[in-house]
Structure 1
Amino acid sequence: MLAARRFVPSLALLTAFEAAARTSSVTAAAKELALTQSAVSRQIKMLEEQLGVELFRRQRQTIRLTGGGEAYAREIREALRKISAASLTVRTNPLGGTLNLAILPTFGTRWLALRLPGFLNSNPGITINLVTKLSPFDFRLEPIDAAIHFGSAEWPGGDLTLLRSETVIPACSPELRADCRFRKPADLRKVPLLHLTTRPKAWEQWFAMNGEPAQILPRMLFDQFATASQAAIAGMGVALLPQFLIEDELATGKLVAALDLPMTSSESYYLAWPQERENHPPLVAFRTWLVAETAADR
């Protein structure tokens, strides 16, 4: 580790390089950093000498990244972003009680957000930062401590604990149900079926469960539940939606079950985290609370 530090340039050199790489101009970088052009040029030259690599090609008054410089700039930009995020985190919560949590958007807004105040009130020293992620990612490349995951019990390089299962129903507007007078599963084939891109086989599974042969189904594609549910409310078709995420719409009559044929999803909700964060105190507290909060739904 000590030997490797010889190859770690100072933050001042890296900042000057990143600004010049991003703006393609020493002048613009100097203005952004409130330095002189000669100071920025000197810092870039020092960085090149330390690395033993030419990062820019100089042509009269312009600079252009070399191939190696371009790759290095991408890595350094991401590293500076992480340093900035870490600095902001420790500044806003100097006790270190911060949990960076990736959430699924509808689960986060419709279920988790309603319950988070209870957790925060019970754990006043913890701050939770939320970021939306629609699919699994590499924890090694993201400054995230844990993630809400829907799918199978798998996350490369991570551990998981089961949170809850879900039941989906074919939901539509009351006007569409009244107009179409659905009586049996096959009747739904007469209207557009609203599909979620993250669950491409959900409708086929629902029809198969109800004795209908699998076949190509007319579809509209949506990447989020919120958009699909709004399309269903507007009468654009029938959507397979998790019942626990549309309780308000069902209670107010904005959505109704096209047919009373619910289906338990083959996949479930999990909390995932990188193995090295297993004992991170805010994660331990949040995991314990979340498992207890979802116990009745398992």
Structure 2
Amino acid sequence: MIAPRRFLPSIQSLLALEAVERVGSVGAAAEDLALTHSAVSRQLRILQDQLGVELFRRKGKGLSLTQSGVDYARSARGCLQDLARASLKLRAAGSQASLNLAIRPTFGMHWLVPRLRDFAQLHPEITVNLSTRLAPFDLASEGFDAAIHFGEKDWTGMAYMPLATERLIPCCHPDLLPQGEGVAGLLSKPLLHLQNRPGAWEEWFERHGLCAVHLRGMLFDQFAAMAEAAALGFGIALLPDHLAERYFTEDRLRPAWPEYTVAKGQYYLVWAPLQTPGRPLALLLDFLRQSR
């Protein structure tokens, strides 16, 4: 249910308040919005009168936002951004149905997107929108139909479809290749680490019979950035097969160990099971089941 009209200010008023908070003055906001100074001031007065809360105070010839005005402007910014994103998605899809997916950057681009090409050929009436996410988020509040999840089935309240396991292999620039030193030889080289995989190297060494603790080295937030650093000779990276093999083909990286190791956890497509999936998501689920 939508709130009563008296609690819903106009878009023009919210844009004026957001701009003043963001750029710091009415004059700068007027320039940012391509409006006159008086037009921005008028929208602020209308908004303040409608809400019945002091949003700004006169300060000489100018004005400054109160803390209430600042807080409201920041909340309004999120709503305006959500509305803009929804409008952009609608405009991009046109009369087509749309499917909004949150993806893991590397797996999404190297494993999922090539498969989506075939899906798009089968269903040209569906526009698939992709957004990358690394930190936890809420599907419903961000408007996603489904998301890629890695790990265990620990995303509460979600339906799961297994997509793929992950095979990892140490990779490095040819100049850093260990010289016949076995597993321990990797410890003599700089090791690169991924923020959302703490302990990945320790686990890898343990699986190969060596206890290695408190390992240090450069830290990255994405596999792609870590792979590039490894290709430039910064250290050895533990990379998934769908990324490593591209670098092997280009001869930018070499395996620092001859075998892949299956990582703990799995890639899943997850979605809210509270209602029957819409047609675009249902078609994608059927497509992925058949293509596994």
TM over 0.5: yes
The answer on whether the counterparts of 1:170 and 1:259 sit within 8 Å (CA) in structure 2 is yes
Alignment of 1:1-298 (within 5 A): 1=1, 4-95=4-95, 97-156=97-156, 158-177=158-177, 180-275=178-273, 279-293=277-291, 295=292
Q: Give the 3-state SS of the residue equivalent to 1:219 in structure 2.
A: coil
CA 1:31–1:245 in structure 2 vs 1: closer, same or farther (change >3 Å)?
closer
Once the two structures are superposed, residues 82-126 of structure 1 have per-residue CA deviations (whole angstroms, 9 ceiling, x without a partner) of 111212222232335122322222223322332322111111121
Structure 1 portions without partners, runs of 5+: none
CA RMSD across the alignment? 2.5
Counterpart-to-counterpart distance in 1, 2:211 and 2:18: 58
The alignment partner of 1:21 has SS state of: helix
CA contact (8 A) 1:169 1:242 kept: yes
Contact 2:14/2:73, CA 8 A, preserved across alignment: no
Structure 2 portions without partners, runs of 5+: none
Residue 9 of structure 1: how far off its partner (Å):
1.6
For 1:6, the aligned partner's letter is: R
**Which stretch of structure 1 is more off in the superposition, 247-256 or 202-211?**
247-256
Q: Tell me the alpha carbon deviations over residues 154-196 of structure 1, each in whole angstroms, 9 at most, x when there is no partner.
A: 225544322111111122234433xx32342122111112221
SS of the residue aligned with 1:111? Answer: helix
SS at match of 1:198: coil
Please say which of residues 75-84 and 239-248 is displaced more in the overlay.
239-248
Give per-residue Cα distances to partners, 1:199-219, cap 9 Å, x unaligned.
121111111111112322242
Distance (whole Å) between structure 2 residues aligned to residue 232 and residue 139 of structure 1:
34
- Quick one: distance in 2 between partners of 1:54 and 1:275? 44
TM-score calculated relative to the size of structure 1: 0.86
Tell me the amino acid that sits aligned with residue 282 of structure 2: V
Taking only the aligned residue pairs, the percentage that are identical comes to 46
- TM-score of the aligned structures, taking structure 2 as reference length: 0.88
CA deviation after TM superposition for structure 1 residue 223, in Å: 2.0
Secondary structure at the aligned position of 1:109 is classed as helix
- Distance change >3 Å, CA 36–CA 229, structure 1 → 2: closer
- The count of aligned residue pairs is 292
Distance in 1 (CA, whole Å) between partners of 2:38 and 2:251 is 68
Q: 1:182 touches 1:258 (CA, 8 Å); kept in 2?
A: no
From the superposition, tell whether residues 278 and 21 of structure 1 become closer, same or farther in structure 2 (CA, over 3 Å).
farther
Report the Cα offset of residue 70 of structure 1: 0.9
Deviations 1:268-293 (A, max 9, x none): 11223345675233222233323433
**Distance in structure 2 (CA, Å) of the matches to 1:4 and 1:277:** 28
CA deviation profile, 1:247-287 (whole Å, cap 9, x unmatched):
22234543333223432111111223345675233222233
